[in-house]
């Protein structure tokens, strides 16, 4: 399985935001919506073997499970609607217990650390880093877990946790790119088995 | 310069659409908006050496010029607003004469053929094709022009024109992916000079 964890630093944790102002009034929820789209969409299919966890302000996590998703569309607004629907049930998420809020979409009251720890148990954490190995030079790990930040840098505490958990440090290219674009490039790296299979 | 031409088949050619229904009432304008975002954004900068032409229903073309753009944001809604603003001035676009409708955004009454022909004069048309050469196996051309279609396939006439004009046929990976994702992968291919420079 391919996993993506995206830490959203400037995002709502309550459902009282407008779908018509995702890049303003809703912090920068638009960034996370684009990450979900990049993680799951092929031309005429959903990537079923993908899990994407959006960490909202280190307080809630919305998990999207590719094999179970039924109502995902590629546009930002409809993805934001799924996130808002998840936050509508925030009072039901007690402790680390998850609530399924749409088919394949789960809300839990978990921050970055437990989400990363759980993913690291199941797969190999790949840290995207400007000093990492060029993607072309290494073989993609099985069950990779890519960890990304929204438009802000990772918090110092997140960097420490990543340093601790990372099985590999990878550089996807010479340019610093948006998180959703990094997800697309990571998929291409994996799809081609490290640029060897087309 | 890197050029992207995106042919939108199911999109508005008048400005009377709602920014809150881009993936429904506005055909699938959301697809083209994501292409613009993929074409121009780096983490903290705009790619200045990029031109992106959105062909709307083979009737109008909205050209985005990286070196001149001032008000582009990565979210779909704000890009759609720039396209709507361009269409607001559709009566000013006479013959092949362009109108600048926002800084770096131009509207013209041109369809797929003249836009492709003009780009082919200035650069090398790259046809993304499942029978193309694997991207990793060839050197990216100078001044590449990538030609993409929205969620629909190219029309037969467009395929013929592309076959005629293409300087290279390239395969970016084993999966069929959305146009905006193909733009991101193409940029990565170019940024790394064919997966050699990181």
Write the DSSP string, B110-175: --HHHHHHHHHHHSEEEEEEEEEEEGGGSPPPSSEEEEEE-SSPPPHHHHHHHHHH-SEEEE--SS
Work out the burial of residue B191: count CB atoms within 10 Å of its CB; fewer than 13 is exposed, 13-18 middle, 19 or more buried. Answer: buried
Range of the domain at B149: 2-192
| Per-residue pLDDT at B22 | 93
B40 assigned to some structural domain: yes
A158 assigned to some structural domain: yes
A73:B23 CB<8 A: yes
pLDDT bin (cut points 50, 70, 90) of residue B188 is very high
B198 assigned to some structural domain: no
A188:B197 CB<8 A: no
A22:B77 CB<8 A: yes
- The number of distinct structural domains making up chain B is 1
Tell me the average pLDDT across B102-117: 97
Chain B residues whose C-beta sits inside 8 Å of any chain A C-beta:
19-20, 22-23, 30-31, 34, 37-38, 41-44, 73-78, 134-137, 171-178, 181, 184-185, 187-188, 191-192, 195-198
- Residue B156: HSE in the Cβ half-sphere, 13 Å Cα cutoff: 0
Tell me the average pLDDT across A121-126: 97
pLDDT tens sequence across A62-93: 999 999 999 899 999 999 999 999 999 999 99
B188:A192 CB<8 A: no
What is the rounded distance in angstroms from the CA atom of residue A133 to the CA atom of residue B145? Answer: 30
A198 assigned to some structural domain: no
Q: Which of A26, A77, A129 would best serve as a mutation to test chain B binding (most B beta carbons within 10 A)?
A: A77
pLDDT at B96 over 80: no
A181 assigned to some structural domain: yes
Task: Give the residue from chain A lying closest to B174, CA to CA.
Answer: A198
Q: By three-state DSSP, how is residue A68 classified?
A: coil
pLDDT at B57 over 80: yes
CA distance A95 to chain B (A): 34
pLDDT tens sequence across A133-157: 999 999 999 999 999 999 999 999 9
Q: By three-state DSSP, how is residue B186 classified?
A: helix
> Looking at residue A149, what DSSP letter applies?
E
CA distance A132 to chain B (A): 10
Q: Which of B23, B31, B73 sits opposite A78 (nearest CB)?
A: B23
Q: Which of A78, A136, A176 sits opposite B42 (nearest CB)?
A: A176
Among residues B106, B2, B9, B23, which one has the least CA distance to residue B55? B9
pLDDT at B86 over 90: yes
B197 assigned to some structural domain: no
Q: Are B126 and B21 in contact (CB under 8 A)?
A: no
A197 assigned to some structural domain: no
How are beta strands A45-46 and A41-42 bridged, if at all?
Answer: antiparallel
User: In what helix (H) or strand (E) does residue A23 lie, and over which residues does it extend?
Assistant: none
A49: domain CATH number?
Answer: 3.40.1280.10
A42:B175 CB<8 A: yes
Interface size, chain A vs chain B, as Cβ–Cβ contacts under 8 Å: 123
A75:B30 CB<8 A: yes
Q: Are B184 and A173 in contact (CB under 8 A)?
A: no
Per the DSSP assignment, residues forming a β-bridge with B45 are: B42
A172 assigned to some structural domain: yes
pLDDT at A39 over 90: yes
A194 Rama sector, left if φ>0, alpha if ψ -120 to 50, beta otherwise: left
How many C-beta atoms lie closer than 10 Å to residue B124's C-beta? 17
| Per-residue pLDDT at B7 | 97
pTM for the whole thing?
Answer: 0.97
Per the DSSP assignment, residues forming a β-bridge with B106 are: B63, B100
Q: Which of B177, B183, B193 would best serve as a mutation to test chain A binding (most A beta carbons within 10 A)?
A: B177
| Per-residue pLDDT at A96 | 74
């Amino acid at each position: 399985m391919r996993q993506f964890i995206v830490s959203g630093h400037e995002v709502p944790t309550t459902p009282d935001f407008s779908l018509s102002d995702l890049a303003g009034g809703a912090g920068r929820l638009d960034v996370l919506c684009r990450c979900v789209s990049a993680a799951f969409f092929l031309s005429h299919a959903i990537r079923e073997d993908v899990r994407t966890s959006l960490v909202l302000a280190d307080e809630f996590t919305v998990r999207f499970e590719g094999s179970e998703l039924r109502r995902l569309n590629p546009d930002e607004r409809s993805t934001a609607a799924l996130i808002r629907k998840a936050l509508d049930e925030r009072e039901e998420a007690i402790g680390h217990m998850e609530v399924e809020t749409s088919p394949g979409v789960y809300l839990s009251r978990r921050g970055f650390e437990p989400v990363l720890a759980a993913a690291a148990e199941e797969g190999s954490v790949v840290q995207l880093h400007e000093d990492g190995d060029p993607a072309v030079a290494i073989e993609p790990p099985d069950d990779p877990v890519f960890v990304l930040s929204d438009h802000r840098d990772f918090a110092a505490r997140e960097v420490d946790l990543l340093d601790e958990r990372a099985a590999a440090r990878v550089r996807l290219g010479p340019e610093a790119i948006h998180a959703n674009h990094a997800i697309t490039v990571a998929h291409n790296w994996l799809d081609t088995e490290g640029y060897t299979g087309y």
